[in-house]
Amino acid sequence: MTNLTETNMIDRDEIAGSNVRRMMWVIVSGLGIVMTAGAVAGYLAAHEAQGGGALGTAGILTLCGFAAIIIGLAYAIWRNVSKMKASNEGLTRREKLNRKIVWGCGLAGGAIGLFLAFYETSVGNSDTGPALIFADSPMPPVIALILAFFWAVIMPIIAWFWHKRAIDEQEASAYRDGGYYAAYAFLIGAPMWWILWRGGFAPEPDGVAIFMLFASIWTAVWLWKKYR
Amino acid sequence: MKNQLKVLRAMRSWSQADLGEHLDVSRQAVNAIETGKYDPSLPLAFKISRLFALPIEEIFDDEFNGD
């Protein structure tokens, strides 16, 4: 009796567990869409820089290829989200709230990233290619203030709510571990890069690259520790 | 840390999510504790102990043999 019940339970748990893989696919697909959109923006900017005009057959085929990639990735997101919704009964109240906050932040971040990428190509004068989102060209003060307000005021409020209401102690521990790894990577990596630059062995340290590495290491360790 | 959590919840026909709801933690947290990948805090261990009406040492085994 116990064995049968336990087997049924494990099956249900495994269904919920496979949502982790689906969520990873959604994240990867979302990043893929952002990167492909950036590639489209970059391609069109390069076309404009070369004189513009109507696109040739190769250009149209290239854009069709990009569009097919975006449609495919969007379909992958839709499929995985549908499956995750179907198995949502495996989530606790905290997990549902947690997921809503993470999704909301992801969508807001994606929207801001896309806006900046298209702003850089259509209004700005950046020539940084695929790294448009992290360009350092000037932007209108109003946009800069809105983004700074979002980053410095809204995000801490969301983070506070997330820590207090949405995550549990296991995820808090995973998040702290991510912070340790990222902090040590920063404490070791940033001075090393700076010293190597002074010695003529490396290009000048790039603050945005250091920030992105710091955030990437933190996120990767956090997710690894949470879902391993 | 080894523990009896999986057996105890099986006896009540609970899924990991059901137990997570009782403890106000995520399914991942229950899974991590059951598989020994995460050791619960003392408050959570007491919560588990009260939920199953068992002493903590009957649920968790730190493999201390007195040496």
What is A14-40 written as a DSSP string? HHHHHHHHHHHHHHHHHHHHHHHHHHH
Q: Position B20: which residue type?
A: G
- What percent of chain B has pLDDT above 90? 81
CB-CB neighbors (< 8 A) of B45 in chain A: none
Q: How far is CA A164 from the centre of its chain?
A: 23
For the segment A81-108, what is each residue's pLDDT rounded down to a tens digit? 888 777 655 778 888 898 889 888 888 8
Query: In the predicted model, what is the mean pLDDT of residues A164-189?
Result: 95
CB-CB neighbors (< 8 A) of B40 in chain A: 169
Alpha-carbon distance of B27 to A16, in angstroms, equals: 8
Alpha-carbon distance of A137 to B46, in angstroms, equals: 55
pLDDT(A127) > 80: no
For the segment A217-226, what is each residue's pLDDT rounded down to a tens digit? 999 999 888 8
- pTM score, whole prediction: 0.69
What sign does the dihedral B40-B46-B52-B58 (CA atoms) show? positive
For the segment A32-70, what is each residue's pLDDT rounded down to a tens digit? 898 898 888 888 888 888 887 788 888 889 999 999 999
Residue B60, H or E segment = strand B60-61
Alpha-carbon distance of A134 to A130, in angstroms, equals: 9
- Report CB contact under 8 Å: A9, B37: no
Q: What ipTM was assigned to the predicted interfaces of this complex?
A: 0.90
Residue B34 Cα, gap to closest chain A Cα (Å): 12
Please count the CA atoms within 13 angstroms of the CA of A167 that sit on its side-chain side: 19
- Helices within B1-67 (DSSP H only): 5-11, 16-23, 27-34, 42-52, 56-59
Please count the CA atoms within 13 angstroms of the CA of B17 that sit on its side-chain side: 19
Quote the strand ranges of A127-208, DSSP E.
none
DSSP A91: S
CB-CB neighbors (< 8 A) of A92 in chain B: 17, 20-21, 24-27
* pLDDT for residue A112: 83
Q: How far is CA A42 from the centre of its chain?
A: 19
What sign does the dihedral B48-A219-A211-A135 (CA atoms) show? negative
Strand partners, B3: B60
Q: What mean pLDDT, rounded, does chain A reach?
A: 82
Burial (CB < 10 A; 0-12, 13-18, 19+), residue A55, is: middle
Residue A2 Cα, gap to closest chain B Cα (Å): 6
* pLDDT for residue A7: 44
Query: In the predicted model, what is the mean pLDDT of residues B23-35?
Result: 92
